[in-house]
Amino acid sequence: MKYQGTLEASLQNARVIRVGPSPRGVVIVSTGGVKGGGGIGSVTRMMTRWIRDNRRDIHVEPIDPRGEGSIVWSPLYIGAGLAKILALRLSGRADILHLQVSERMSFPRKGIFQLFGRLLGMRVVLHHHGAELVPFYRETSPRMKSLVRRMVHGADINIVLGDVWRKLLTDEMDLDPRKVVVRFNAAENVGAGSEAVDPWHFLIVANLSPRKGAGELLQAVSRLKNEGFPIRLTLAGGGQIDRYKAEAGALGITERVDFTGWVSGKDVHGLLRSRSALVLPSYQEGFPMAIIESLSAGLPVIATPVGSIGEMMRHGDDCLLVQPGDVDGLTDALRTMATDAGLRDRLRDNGKALYAQHFDIDGYMQRMITLYGTLL
Protein backbone atom coordinates (compact mmCIF):
# COMPACT_ATOMS: atom_id res chain seq x y z
CA MET A 1 0.00 0.00 0.00
CA LYS A 2 1.50 3.29 -1.11
CA TYR A 3 0.73 5.13 2.14
CA GLN A 4 2.09 2.45 4.42
CA GLY A 5 5.58 3.94 4.68
CA THR A 6 4.36 7.36 5.70
CA LEU A 7 1.93 5.86 8.17
CA GLU A 8 4.61 3.76 9.82
CA ALA A 9 6.91 6.77 9.97
CA SER A 10 4.18 8.77 11.69
CA LEU A 11 3.68 6.02 14.23
CA GLN A 12 7.40 5.95 14.90
CA ASN A 13 7.44 9.72 15.36
CA ALA A 14 4.54 9.48 17.81
CA ARG A 15 6.48 6.81 19.76
CA VAL A 16 3.48 4.49 19.83
CA ILE A 17 5.74 1.47 19.38
CA ARG A 18 6.77 1.77 23.03
CA VAL A 19 4.42 0.02 25.39
CA GLY A 20 3.22 2.11 28.31
CA PRO A 21 0.68 1.62 31.11
CA SER A 22 -3.01 1.39 30.32
CA PRO A 23 -5.14 4.40 31.21
CA ARG A 24 -7.55 4.12 34.11
CA GLY A 25 -10.10 6.27 32.35
CA VAL A 26 -10.70 8.11 29.08
CA VAL A 27 -12.99 11.10 28.63
CA ILE A 28 -14.07 11.65 25.01
CA VAL A 29 -15.38 15.17 24.37
CA SER A 30 -17.38 15.06 21.17
CA THR A 31 -20.26 17.20 19.92
CA GLY A 32 -23.41 15.14 20.30
CA GLY A 33 -21.62 12.54 22.42
CA VAL A 34 -22.50 9.01 21.34
CA LYS A 35 -25.66 10.37 19.67
CA GLY A 36 -23.80 12.79 17.41
CA GLY A 37 -24.19 12.64 13.67
CA GLY A 38 -21.56 12.51 10.96
CA GLY A 39 -18.16 10.92 11.05
CA ILE A 40 -17.17 12.32 14.45
CA GLY A 41 -20.25 10.87 16.09
CA SER A 42 -19.58 7.51 14.46
CA VAL A 43 -15.99 7.46 15.70
CA THR A 44 -17.06 8.41 19.23
CA ARG A 45 -19.70 5.67 19.34
CA MET A 46 -17.24 3.15 17.99
CA MET A 47 -14.51 4.05 20.50
CA THR A 48 -16.91 4.07 23.45
CA ARG A 49 -18.52 0.75 22.54
CA TRP A 50 -15.19 -0.98 21.92
CA ILE A 51 -13.66 0.08 25.24
CA ARG A 52 -16.76 -0.93 27.17
CA ASP A 53 -16.91 -4.30 25.43
CA ASN A 54 -13.20 -5.16 25.38
CA ARG A 55 -11.41 -3.18 28.11
CA ARG A 56 -13.56 -3.14 31.21
CA ASP A 57 -10.51 -2.12 33.21
CA ILE A 58 -10.72 1.28 31.49
CA HIS A 59 -13.56 3.66 32.31
CA VAL A 60 -14.76 5.60 29.24
CA GLU A 61 -17.00 8.66 29.49
CA PRO A 62 -18.32 10.46 26.38
CA ILE A 63 -19.24 14.11 27.00
CA ASP A 64 -21.32 16.37 24.75
CA PRO A 65 -20.10 20.01 24.96
CA ARG A 66 -22.75 21.44 22.65
CA GLY A 67 -26.08 19.72 23.07
CA GLU A 68 -29.03 19.76 20.70
CA GLY A 69 -31.03 22.82 19.79
CA SER A 70 -29.98 26.41 20.33
CA ILE A 71 -26.34 27.27 20.92
CA VAL A 72 -27.40 29.36 23.92
CA TRP A 73 -27.57 26.13 25.92
CA SER A 74 -23.95 25.28 25.13
CA PRO A 75 -22.53 26.93 28.31
CA LEU A 76 -24.73 24.65 30.43
CA TYR A 77 -23.45 21.57 28.62
CA ILE A 78 -19.88 22.79 28.97
CA GLY A 79 -20.33 23.43 32.69
CA ALA A 80 -21.89 20.01 33.25
CA GLY A 81 -19.09 18.39 31.27
CA LEU A 82 -16.38 20.10 33.29
CA ALA A 83 -18.05 19.04 36.54
CA LYS A 84 -18.18 15.46 35.28
CA ILE A 85 -14.49 15.50 34.38
CA LEU A 86 -13.59 16.89 37.80
CA ALA A 87 -15.57 14.14 39.55
CA LEU A 88 -13.97 11.44 37.41
CA ARG A 89 -10.50 12.84 37.94
CA LEU A 90 -10.93 13.05 41.71
CA SER A 91 -12.16 9.45 41.78
CA GLY A 92 -9.15 8.25 39.78
CA ARG A 93 -11.18 7.30 36.69
CA ALA A 94 -9.89 9.85 34.18
CA ASP A 95 -6.32 10.41 33.05
CA ILE A 96 -6.76 10.78 29.26
CA LEU A 97 -8.78 13.64 27.74
CA HIS A 98 -9.60 12.84 24.10
CA LEU A 99 -10.96 15.90 22.28
CA GLN A 100 -12.75 15.35 18.95
CA VAL A 101 -12.34 18.64 17.05
CA SER A 102 -13.42 19.82 13.60
CA GLU A 103 -13.25 23.51 12.62
CA ARG A 104 -14.58 26.95 13.55
CA MET A 105 -16.29 27.12 16.97
CA SER A 106 -15.29 23.57 17.74
CA PHE A 107 -11.90 24.94 18.78
CA PRO A 108 -13.09 27.46 21.41
CA ARG A 109 -15.45 24.89 22.95
CA LYS A 110 -12.84 22.14 23.08
CA GLY A 111 -10.22 24.68 24.18
CA ILE A 112 -12.09 25.17 27.46
CA PHE A 113 -11.92 21.44 28.10
CA GLN A 114 -8.27 21.29 27.13
CA LEU A 115 -7.34 24.04 29.59
CA PHE A 116 -9.38 22.42 32.36
CA GLY A 117 -7.88 19.00 31.71
CA ARG A 118 -4.40 20.46 31.80
CA LEU A 119 -5.13 22.10 35.15
CA LEU A 120 -6.17 18.69 36.46
CA GLY A 121 -2.99 17.05 35.18
CA MET A 122 -4.66 15.00 32.46
CA ARG A 123 -2.98 13.99 29.21
CA VAL A 124 -4.64 15.57 26.18
CA VAL A 125 -5.25 14.03 22.76
CA LEU A 126 -6.45 16.46 20.08
CA HIS A 127 -8.12 14.41 17.34
CA HIS A 128 -8.61 16.45 14.15
CA HIS A 129 -11.58 15.44 11.97
CA GLY A 130 -12.25 18.68 10.08
CA ALA A 131 -12.41 18.18 6.33
CA GLU A 132 -12.11 21.96 5.92
CA LEU A 133 -9.39 22.48 8.52
CA VAL A 134 -6.75 23.60 6.01
CA PRO A 135 -8.76 26.38 4.31
CA PHE A 136 -10.34 27.34 7.64
CA TYR A 137 -6.96 27.84 9.32
CA ARG A 138 -5.49 29.78 6.41
CA GLU A 139 -8.48 32.10 6.08
CA THR A 140 -9.56 32.60 9.69
CA SER A 141 -8.91 35.66 11.86
CA PRO A 142 -5.54 36.17 13.59
CA ARG A 143 -7.22 35.62 16.97
CA MET A 144 -8.74 32.28 15.97
CA LYS A 145 -5.51 31.24 14.28
CA SER A 146 -3.63 31.95 17.51
CA LEU A 147 -6.13 29.86 19.49
CA VAL A 148 -5.79 26.92 17.11
CA ARG A 149 -2.00 27.06 17.32
CA ARG A 150 -2.06 27.19 21.14
CA MET A 151 -4.35 24.19 21.31
CA VAL A 152 -2.28 22.19 18.83
CA HIS A 153 0.94 22.93 20.70
CA GLY A 154 -0.70 22.39 24.10
CA ALA A 155 -1.89 18.86 23.34
CA ASP A 156 0.31 15.88 24.18
CA ILE A 157 -0.46 14.38 20.78
CA ASN A 158 -2.41 15.44 17.70
CA ILE A 159 -4.13 12.75 15.66
CA VAL A 160 -4.77 13.64 12.01
CA LEU A 161 -6.47 11.75 9.20
CA GLY A 162 -3.75 12.08 6.59
CA ASP A 163 -0.61 13.71 5.33
CA VAL A 164 -2.21 16.97 4.24
CA TRP A 165 -3.19 17.73 7.85
CA ARG A 166 0.13 16.50 9.22
CA LYS A 167 1.89 19.01 6.97
CA LEU A 168 -0.46 21.78 8.08
CA LEU A 169 0.45 21.20 11.73
CA THR A 170 4.17 20.72 11.24
CA ASP A 171 4.88 23.17 8.41
CA GLU A 172 2.40 25.97 9.02
CA MET A 173 1.88 25.70 12.78
CA ASP A 174 5.52 24.77 13.53
CA LEU A 175 4.54 21.75 15.59
CA ASP A 176 7.15 19.17 16.58
CA PRO A 177 6.56 16.20 14.20
CA ARG A 178 6.83 13.87 17.19
CA LYS A 179 3.55 15.31 18.47
CA VAL A 180 1.61 14.27 15.35
CA VAL A 181 0.37 10.82 14.42
CA VAL A 182 -1.54 9.89 11.26
CA ARG A 183 -4.43 7.63 12.17
CA PHE A 184 -7.17 6.80 9.70
CA ASN A 185 -10.64 6.20 11.09
CA ALA A 186 -12.12 2.75 11.56
CA ALA A 187 -15.61 1.34 11.36
CA GLU A 188 -17.39 -1.88 12.19
CA ASN A 189 -17.71 -4.51 9.51
CA VAL A 190 -21.28 -4.09 8.28
CA GLY A 191 -21.33 -7.47 6.55
CA ALA A 192 -21.48 -8.43 2.91
CA GLY A 193 -24.45 -7.47 0.82
CA SER A 194 -26.33 -9.41 -1.81
CA GLU A 195 -24.64 -9.85 -5.16
CA ALA A 196 -28.05 -9.79 -6.87
CA VAL A 197 -28.43 -6.01 -6.75
CA ASP A 198 -29.43 -3.65 -9.52
CA PRO A 199 -26.10 -2.45 -11.02
CA TRP A 200 -27.73 0.88 -11.90
CA HIS A 201 -28.90 1.73 -8.37
CA PHE A 202 -26.31 3.98 -6.73
CA LEU A 203 -26.06 5.45 -3.24
CA ILE A 204 -24.71 8.62 -1.65
CA VAL A 205 -24.48 8.82 2.15
CA ALA A 206 -23.83 12.41 3.20
CA ASN A 207 -25.16 15.57 4.76
CA LEU A 208 -26.28 16.93 1.40
CA SER A 209 -24.51 20.16 0.47
CA PRO A 210 -22.42 21.68 -2.33
CA ARG A 211 -19.27 20.45 -0.55
CA LYS A 212 -20.46 16.86 -1.05
CA GLY A 213 -20.93 17.34 -4.80
CA ALA A 214 -24.63 16.48 -4.60
CA GLY A 215 -25.58 18.82 -7.45
CA GLU A 216 -22.96 17.39 -9.78
CA LEU A 217 -24.16 13.87 -8.98
CA LEU A 218 -27.72 14.78 -9.92
CA GLN A 219 -26.46 16.22 -13.21
CA ALA A 220 -24.64 12.96 -13.96
CA VAL A 221 -27.80 10.98 -13.20
CA SER A 222 -29.73 13.24 -15.60
CA ARG A 223 -27.23 12.67 -18.38
CA LEU A 224 -27.37 8.89 -18.00
CA LYS A 225 -31.16 8.95 -17.94
CA ASN A 226 -31.12 10.92 -21.19
CA GLU A 227 -28.79 8.30 -22.68
CA GLY A 228 -31.47 5.71 -21.99
CA PHE A 229 -29.89 3.95 -18.99
CA PRO A 230 -32.13 2.80 -16.09
CA ILE A 231 -30.15 4.68 -13.46
CA ARG A 232 -31.47 5.24 -9.93
CA LEU A 233 -29.97 7.11 -6.99
CA THR A 234 -30.67 6.96 -3.25
CA LEU A 235 -29.59 10.08 -1.34
CA ALA A 236 -29.28 9.12 2.34
CA GLY A 237 -28.70 11.95 4.79
CA GLY A 238 -29.91 15.31 5.96
CA GLY A 239 -28.72 18.71 4.85
CA GLN A 240 -30.19 20.77 2.02
CA ILE A 241 -32.78 18.22 0.95
CA ASP A 242 -35.35 20.71 -0.39
CA ARG A 243 -32.69 22.33 -2.55
CA TYR A 244 -31.71 19.07 -4.19
CA LYS A 245 -35.29 17.89 -4.60
CA ALA A 246 -35.88 21.09 -6.55
CA GLU A 247 -32.74 20.50 -8.63
CA ALA A 248 -33.85 16.94 -9.38
CA GLY A 249 -37.22 18.27 -10.51
CA ALA A 250 -35.59 20.85 -12.77
CA LEU A 251 -33.43 18.10 -14.30
CA GLY A 252 -36.45 15.86 -14.87
CA ILE A 253 -35.19 13.00 -12.71
CA THR A 254 -37.58 13.13 -9.76
CA GLU A 255 -38.75 9.58 -10.43
CA ARG A 256 -35.14 8.35 -10.51
CA VAL A 257 -34.03 9.66 -7.09
CA ASP A 258 -35.06 8.78 -3.52
CA PHE A 259 -34.34 11.11 -0.59
CA THR A 260 -34.39 9.20 2.70
CA GLY A 261 -33.53 12.06 5.03
CA TRP A 262 -31.31 11.33 8.00
CA VAL A 263 -30.86 7.60 8.61
CA SER A 264 -29.50 5.70 11.60
CA GLY A 265 -26.40 3.54 11.48
CA LYS A 266 -28.26 0.26 11.07
CA ASP A 267 -30.39 1.69 8.28
CA VAL A 268 -27.25 2.97 6.54
CA HIS A 269 -25.76 -0.51 6.77
CA GLY A 270 -28.85 -1.93 5.08
CA LEU A 271 -28.48 0.56 2.24
CA LEU A 272 -24.79 -0.29 1.85
CA ARG A 273 -25.70 -3.95 1.45
CA SER A 274 -28.41 -3.33 -1.15
CA ARG A 275 -26.98 -0.82 -3.64
CA SER A 276 -24.48 -1.23 -6.46
CA ALA A 277 -21.90 1.39 -5.43
CA LEU A 278 -21.31 4.30 -3.08
CA VAL A 279 -20.78 7.65 -4.82
CA LEU A 280 -19.18 10.52 -2.91
CA PRO A 281 -18.04 13.28 -5.32
CA SER A 282 -16.93 15.67 -2.58
CA TYR A 283 -14.84 18.80 -2.84
CA GLN A 284 -13.42 18.36 0.67
CA GLU A 285 -13.25 15.35 2.97
CA GLY A 286 -11.22 13.78 5.73
CA PHE A 287 -11.55 10.04 5.25
CA PRO A 288 -15.32 9.42 5.25
CA MET A 289 -16.80 6.76 7.47
CA ALA A 290 -19.22 5.95 4.65
CA ILE A 291 -16.30 4.86 2.48
CA ILE A 292 -14.82 2.70 5.25
CA GLU A 293 -18.15 1.00 5.89
CA SER A 294 -18.63 0.49 2.14
CA LEU A 295 -15.24 -1.21 1.88
CA SER A 296 -16.19 -3.57 4.71
CA ALA A 297 -19.43 -4.46 2.93
CA GLY A 298 -17.73 -5.04 -0.41
CA LEU A 299 -19.59 -2.09 -1.90
CA PRO A 300 -17.56 -0.49 -4.74
CA VAL A 301 -16.74 3.19 -4.31
CA ILE A 302 -16.67 6.19 -6.64
CA ALA A 303 -15.04 9.17 -4.94
CA THR A 304 -12.75 12.15 -5.41
CA PRO A 305 -9.03 12.19 -4.47
CA VAL A 306 -9.47 14.78 -1.70
CA GLY A 307 -8.37 14.64 1.92
CA SER A 308 -6.89 11.23 2.67
CA ILE A 309 -8.87 9.41 -0.02
CA GLY A 310 -6.18 9.94 -2.64
CA GLU A 311 -3.50 8.87 -0.16
CA MET A 312 -5.07 5.51 0.66
CA MET A 313 -7.08 4.49 -2.40
CA ARG A 314 -6.01 3.76 -5.98
CA HIS A 315 -8.07 4.37 -9.08
CA GLY A 316 -9.04 1.15 -10.81
CA ASP A 317 -7.70 -0.99 -7.97
CA ASP A 318 -9.97 -0.42 -4.96
CA CYS A 319 -12.13 2.48 -6.21
CA LEU A 320 -12.84 4.82 -9.11
CA LEU A 321 -11.62 8.38 -8.64
CA VAL A 322 -12.86 11.49 -10.42
CA GLN A 323 -11.90 15.11 -9.89
CA PRO A 324 -14.26 17.33 -7.87
CA GLY A 325 -16.75 19.13 -10.11
CA ASP A 326 -16.02 16.95 -13.13
CA VAL A 327 -19.54 16.00 -14.24
CA ASP A 328 -18.22 14.35 -17.42
CA GLY A 329 -15.84 12.17 -15.45
CA LEU A 330 -18.48 11.34 -12.87
CA THR A 331 -20.94 10.35 -15.60
CA ASP A 332 -18.33 8.08 -17.19
CA ALA A 333 -17.51 6.50 -13.80
CA LEU A 334 -21.16 5.72 -13.08
CA ARG A 335 -21.63 4.21 -16.55
CA THR A 336 -18.46 2.14 -16.27
CA MET A 337 -19.32 0.89 -12.79
CA ALA A 338 -22.79 -0.22 -13.86
CA THR A 339 -21.72 -1.97 -17.08
CA ASP A 340 -18.44 -3.64 -16.06
CA ALA A 341 -19.15 -6.57 -13.73
CA GLY A 342 -15.49 -7.58 -13.68
CA LEU A 343 -14.51 -4.14 -12.44
CA ARG A 344 -17.12 -4.28 -9.69
CA ASP A 345 -15.79 -7.66 -8.56
CA ARG A 346 -12.21 -6.38 -8.47
CA LEU A 347 -13.11 -3.25 -6.52
CA ARG A 348 -15.21 -5.33 -4.12
CA ASP A 349 -12.43 -7.81 -3.35
CA ASN A 350 -9.65 -5.23 -3.10
CA GLY A 351 -11.83 -2.94 -1.01
CA LYS A 352 -12.43 -5.70 1.52
CA ALA A 353 -8.69 -6.36 1.70
CA LEU A 354 -8.00 -2.64 2.22
CA TYR A 355 -10.53 -2.54 5.06
CA ALA A 356 -9.01 -5.56 6.77
CA GLN A 357 -5.52 -4.08 6.55
CA HIS A 358 -6.18 -0.52 7.68
CA PHE A 359 -9.70 0.09 8.99
CA ASP A 360 -10.56 -2.84 11.25
CA ILE A 361 -11.84 -1.66 14.66
CA ASP A 362 -9.79 -4.04 16.81
CA GLY A 363 -6.47 -2.98 15.32
CA TYR A 364 -7.44 0.69 15.44
CA MET A 365 -8.44 0.62 19.11
CA GLN A 366 -5.51 -1.50 20.20
CA ARG A 367 -3.21 1.10 18.64
CA MET A 368 -5.21 3.85 20.34
CA ILE A 369 -4.87 2.23 23.78
CA THR A 370 -1.15 1.82 23.17
CA LEU A 371 -0.93 5.49 22.24
CA TYR A 372 -2.69 6.44 25.47
CA GLY A 373 -0.19 4.33 27.39
CA THR A 374 2.80 6.15 25.94
CA LEU A 375 1.35 9.48 27.09
CA LEU A 376 1.20 8.21 30.68
pLDDT tens sequence across 71-86: 777 889 999 999 999 9
375 vs 70 pLDDT, higher one:
375
Interhelix angle 265-272/289-297, rounded to 10 degrees, is: 50
Q: Are residues 312 and 270 in the same domain?
A: yes
Q: Is 342 helix (H, G, I), strand (E, B) or coil?
A: helix
Most confident region among 128-137, 259-268, 332-341 by mean pLDDT: 332-341
Q: Is residue 194 part of a domain?
A: no
Q: What is the pLDDT of residue 49?
A: 94
* Of 40 and 156, more confident: 156
Give the pLDDT confidence of 336-359 residue by residue, as tens digits.
999 999 999 999 999 999 999 889
In a domain, 223, yes or no: yes
218-249 pLDDT per residue, tens: 999 999 999 999 999 999 999 999 999 999 99
Is the same domain home to 34 and 108?
yes
Within this chain, do residues 90 and 231 fall inside the same structural domain, yes or no? no
| 138-168 tens-digit pLDDT | 999 999 999 999 999 999 999 999 999 999 9
Tell me the CB-side half-sphere exposure of residue 62, using CA atoms within 13 A: 24
Judge contact between 131 and 168, C-beta under 8 A. no
Measured distance CA(175)–CA(155) in Å, rounded: 10
Burial class (CB in 10 A: 0-12, 13-18, 19+), 96: buried
Do 255 and 158 lie in one domain? The reply is no
Confidence check: pLDDT of 1 > 50: no
Q: How far apart are CA 30 and CA 49, in angstroms?
A: 14
Q: Which has the closest alpha carbon to 22: 55, 49, 44, 53?
A: 55
Q: How confident is the model at residue 253 (pLDDT cuts 50, 70, 90)?
A: very high
Length of the chain: 376
Domain assignment of residue 191, yes or no: no
Asked if residue 328 belongs to a domain, the reply is yes
- Order across the sheet with 320-321: list the strands: 257-261, 232-236, 201-205, 277-280, 301-303, 320-321
Instruction: Give the model's pLDDT for residue 338.
Output: 97
Do residues 369 and 353 share a domain?
Answer: no
- The count of structural domains within the chain is 2
- For the whole model, what pTM was predicted? 0.84
Residue 9 has pLDDT above 70, yes or no: no
Task: Looking at the structure, tell me whether residues 297 and 338 fall in a common domain.
Answer: yes
Task: Kindly tell me if the per-residue pLDDT of 14 is higher than 70.
Answer: no
Residues 288 and 310 in one domain: yes
CA nearest to 133, candidates 114, 106, 95, 157: 106
Any domain includes 311:
yes
Mean pLDDT of 54-63: 96
Q: 353: domain range? A: 201-358
Residue-wise pLDDT tens digits, 86-132: 999 999 999 999 999 998 899 999 999 999 999 999 999 999 999 89
152 and 165 share one domain? yes
Look at residue 117 and tell me if it is in a domain: yes
Residue 12 — pLDDT band, cuts 50, 70, 90?
Answer: very low
Q: 353 in a domain, yes or no? A: yes
Question: Are the CB atoms for 222 and 252 separated by under 8 Å?
Answer: yes
End-to-end CA distance of the chain: 32
Average pLDDT, the chain: 90
In the structure, what pLDDT confidence band is assigned to residue 193 with cuts at 50, 70 and 90? low
Domain shared by 101 and 131, yes or no: yes
Tell me the percentage of the chain whose pLDDT exceeds 90.
75
Residue 209, Cβ density class (10 Å: 0-12 exposed, 13-18 middle, ≥19 buried): middle
For residues 279 and 177, state if they share a domain: no
pLDDT confidence of residue 4: 41
Do residue 368 and residue 344 come from a single domain? no
21: DSSP letter? P
- Which pLDDT score, from 0 to 100, does residue 18 have? 46
Q: Which of 191-200, 267-276, 278-287 has the lowest mean pLDDT?
A: 191-200
CATH code of the domain containing 207: 3.40.50.2000
Q: What is the pLDDT of residue 69?
A: 66
Classify residue 34: in a domain, yes or no: yes
Q: What is the DSSP string of 25-92?
A: EEEEE-TTGGG--HHHHHHHHHHHHHHHHH-TTSEEEEE-SS-SS-GGGHHHHHHHHHHHHHHHHHTT
Residue 178 sits in the same domain as residue 221? no
Cα gap 49→39, rounded to integer Å: 15
